Amino acid sequence: MTVDAADAGKRLDAVLAAHQDTLSRNRIQSLIKSGDVTVGGAKIVEPKYRVNEGDALAFTLPEPEDPEPKGEDIPIAVVFEDEHLIVIDKPAGLVVHPGAGNWTGTLVNALIHHCGDSLSGIGGIKRPGIVHRIDKDTSGLLVVAKSDQAHQGLAAQFADHGKTGPLERAYAALVWGAPSSLKGTIDANLARSRTNRQKIAVVKTSGRHAVTHWQVKERFGNADQPALASLMECRLETGRTHQIRVHMAHLNHPLIGDNDYGSGYKTKINRLEDPLKSLVGGFSRQALHAGLLAFEHPADGRTLRFESPYPADFAELLSGLQKF
C-alpha cells in the first residue's frame, strides 16, 4: 500500500493495522520487530516509526511453523532423575526450548523423547517442564519438572531466589581483565535494549531487578602488568535473561568469547602470542558454565546438590590462561 496524506506522520504499526482486518496490531508489531515490514523497500524494525506521504509499505508473513515440539533422539547427559524431576548437564550449543529459528533440535525435543508424556504441562506446549533456562551457548546444569507438583514446588524456589531455602546457582566465568577487589555485588536493573531488541541492557529506571554476587577465583597474567583475564564465580540472586553476561560487561569485565556484550575486547586477542592467541580467538561462545545447582526436592524435602565439571572447551581455555 502507499501512504496517503491522511496517514502521513502516523505510526507505522497504526497505519498497517488500519488498512487491513486480518492481523491484530500486536501481530503487526511483531512482524515489524522481526524485519518482515518494509518502507520504500527498506526494513523498518521500530513500530512507532512515522511514515511519510507516498511511502510504499509492504509486509510478508513467515511460513507457519509447527507449534508443538516433537520428541527427537538427541543425546542428553542425565545427572539425576526420578518420577518427579530430571537434572540435565546441558552442553553448549543446545537451545533449551523451541522458539523462532529453533523449532527443532532443542533440549525440550530431547526431553520429550526421553521422558515421553511424563513432563509437567505447566510450561505450556513449547516449554513442558521448563522451570528455568540457561543460554544456548552456556553449558551446565538445569532442572526440569516431570510433574505439575514438582513444577510448582521448583518454580516457588526459583521465585524466592534462595532467600528462605537451599536454592543455589553458581557459574564459572572467564572474563577479560580483573576487578580491583576480590569480590562484590552488582545490583543493576535489566531491560531490553532500546537499540537492539535481541540484547539486554542495564537501565537506571524501570526494568527488572537483577543482583549478581561475584568472586575472583584466579587472575591470569604477569605480576607487573594488569591482569589479562580472571576466573570468577558468579552466584545469582535473581535469574534474568543474559544477567551474568550483561552484569560482567557493566563491570567492564565482559566474558571471553561473548560477541554480544564483549565485542570491543576482540583487539586484546591480537596482542597475544600463540598458542594462547589461537585458543582465545577460537573460543566461539561466551565462557560461562553453570557448575553448581542445589535445591529442595519438591516431593520429599531433601536438599539435592549437583556440581558439573568444566566442559572440555572451557577447561582447555582455562589451562591456556593459567600458563600465560
Q: pTM for the whole thing?
A: 0.78
Within a domain: 1: no
The C-alpha atoms of residue 168 and residue 88 are separated, in whole angstroms, by 16
Last residue of a domain, which of 59, 81, 97? 59
Q: Characterise 107 by phi-psi region: left (phi > 0), alpha (psi -120 to 50), beta (else).
A: alpha
Does the structure show a pLDDT above 90 at 279? yes
Q: Is the same domain home to 169 and 288?
A: yes
Do 186 and 320 lie in one domain? The reply is yes
Name residue, grid cell 507449534.
Answer: 67
Q: Is 117 a member of any domain?
A: yes
Cell of 272: 597475544
Specify whether 230 is located in the same domain as 320: yes
Residue 315 domain-assigned? yes
The answer to whether residue 137 is domain-embedded is: yes
- State the Cα–Cα distance between residues 140 and 170, nearest whole angstrom: 10
Burial 224-251 (b: 16+ CB within 10 A, else e): eeebbbbbbbbbbbbebebbbbbbbbbb
CA distance 253 to 251: 5
Q: Is position 135 annotated as part of the catalytic site?
A: yes
**Phi, psi values for residue 84, rounded to 5°:** -105, -35
For residues 171-195, average pLDDT: 94
In this predicted model, what pLDDT tens digit does every residue of 280-310 receive, in sequence order? Answer: 999 999 999 999 999 999 999 999 999 999 9
User: What's the structural domain count of the chain?
Assistant: 3
pLDDT tens figures, 144-157: 999 889 999 999 99
Catalytic residue among 7, 55, 89, 135: 135
Of 176, 137, 138, 172, the closest CA to residue 254 belongs to: 176
Domain hosting residue 36, numbered range: 12-59
Domain CATH for 169: 3.30.2350.10
Helix (H, G, I), strand (E, B) or coil at 254: coil
When pLDDT is cut at 50, 70 and 90, the band that residue 125 belongs to is low
